[in-house]
Chain A
């Protein structure tokens, strides 16, 4: 499954890898270079340095999510999923196969966007392990989330509603473009309910050692969401909801 998904991602690179790279490059140019040059430093970082980790994370989140939701729904729609379900593979292995595909695409996009980011600014690496852990775990979380969406999707509309109306707003309000320290206390508290804030800050800490939130809390939230979503997904597969009749 993973090999097949890798071949697919590479074969249709102009649909899977190129769009996030172009979109993020535009963010780098417009927000980072043009507008960012007019702004003060945030947490000791130039504005473009501040937003690069968040923009990489945004690409990873979107790519991981879209990979699993689209491949799973397409497999359901074309009934190729039946071949997986009639095989002796246990549920956890099927889930692992789909999630691995999402993680693979997320990481490929993340690395590409990071490389493009280097053309616009200097990126330090404070802690490579934190950086990799934040990247991989975020990708795992949103691959699982995309798979849950795919399980419930009953049409092509169903695979775009959550990314459009939930994921995009949460991502934009997840501390990519600002530090919550710039907010009044009430909005700082509201922002803490956005899980993406923790992922972006953990990743930014991995680069520059600055974060709005304690790094341990960031990974705690990330791990908690992964565990919760994984339990939900396994339960859905065991019950056959959205998968079997």
Chain B
């Protein structure tokens, strides 16, 4: 089954900027998919449309077969989103942030608490559960964002640059965690500027630039087709050629 299905998707902002120029994309359930592209390429707009934060101006998008506009509420139940920026209440305690988030998905407190405990333990935040989130370090805040996105056990996890500003050791720990939940069945879409990360984790890759998909194929085949060069080098060649 397709976790994400996008057909001829378009977005033109009010000021005339065309962020998506009719892109099509299919991501299978269980995939670990890397969505790459420079700043302003259209990645965040695409994620915004999928999650209901941005209105599309044309085309279709569906999550597990549910249209994001006509069946938006159902489509949203499948998604966990880790946005680029920290956007939790900085005055709220870690545990309460997750319990509140679970409430948004109709999960009562007594059901949410065991899930919250498991997630916080998995992500090494259990000791901080009663701390206000503003007291967490940068790495802990990133992990809290992931825990929050997973509290309703989504089938699809979308990570928009989840490891930005995270040190190498912690990034590796996060990779391990993401591999684990992917192996357990969660479909993952990852956008990142750390191309090594995408190379290590993703089975399929798409490169988007100026609102158009330039590449959409299995990671292994893509690397082999480019003489097994590093993803970063191939990426720079493709984006550089576009710029020229």
Q: Assess whether A86 is in contact with B73, with CB atoms less than 8 Å apart.
A: no
Q: Assess whether B87 is in contact with A86, with CB atoms less than 8 Å apart.
A: no
A79 to B106, CA, bound (A): 21
Q: Assess whether B76 is in contact with A88, with CB atoms less than 8 Å apart.
A: yes
Contact with A along B1-32 (1 / 0, CB 8 A): 00000000000010000000000000000000
A87 contacts partner chain B, Cβ-Cβ < 8 Å? yes
Within 8 A of A (CB), among B124-175: 148
A7, A78, A86: the one contacting B52 at CB < 8 Å is: A86
Contact with A along B101-116 (1 / 0, CB 8 A): 1011110000000000
Contact with A along B170-183 (1 / 0, CB 8 A): 00000000000000
Contact with B along A234-245 (1 / 0, CB 8 A): 000000100011
Contact with A along B60-86 (1 / 0, CB 8 A): 000000000000111011010101010
Q: Assess whether B53 is in contact with A4, with CB atoms less than 8 Å apart.
A: no
B214 contacts partner chain A, Cβ-Cβ < 8 Å? no
Give min CB distance, A93 to chain B, whole Å. 9
A85 contacts partner chain B, Cβ-Cβ < 8 Å? yes
The answer to whether A88 and B73 touch (CB under 8 A), given A79-B83, A245-B13, is: yes
A88 to B48, CA, bound (A): 14
Interface size of B by Cβ–Cβ distance < 8 Å? Answer: 30
For A4, give the chain B residue with the smallest CB separation: B100
Give min CB distance, A23 to chain B, whole Å. 25
Which A residues touch B13, using CB under 8 A? 245
Contact with B along A76-101 (1 / 0, CB 8 A): 00111011111111100000000000
B54, B73, B74: the one contacting A245 at CB < 8 Å is: B54
Q: Assess whether B77 is in contact with A80, with CB atoms less than 8 Å apart.
A: no
Give min CB distance, B114 to chain A, whole Å. 19
Which A residues touch B83, using CB under 8 A? 79, 82
Which A residues touch B74, using CB under 8 A? 88
Q: Assess whether B53 is in contact with A87, with CB atoms less than 8 Å apart.
A: no
For A87, give the chain B residue with the smallest CB separation: B104
For B11, give the chain A residue with the smallest CB separation: A245
A87 to B48, CA, bound (A): 13
A85 to B96, CA, bound (A): 19
Chain A residues proximal to chain B, CB less than 8 Å: 1, 3-4, 7-8, 78-80, 82-90, 240, 244-245
Beyond the given A79-B87, A245-B48, please list 11 additional residue pairs across the A-B interface where CB-CB is below 8 A.
A3-B100, A4-B92, A7-B96, A78-B89, A80-B89, A86-B76, A86-B81, A87-B101, A87-B105, A88-B72, A88-B106
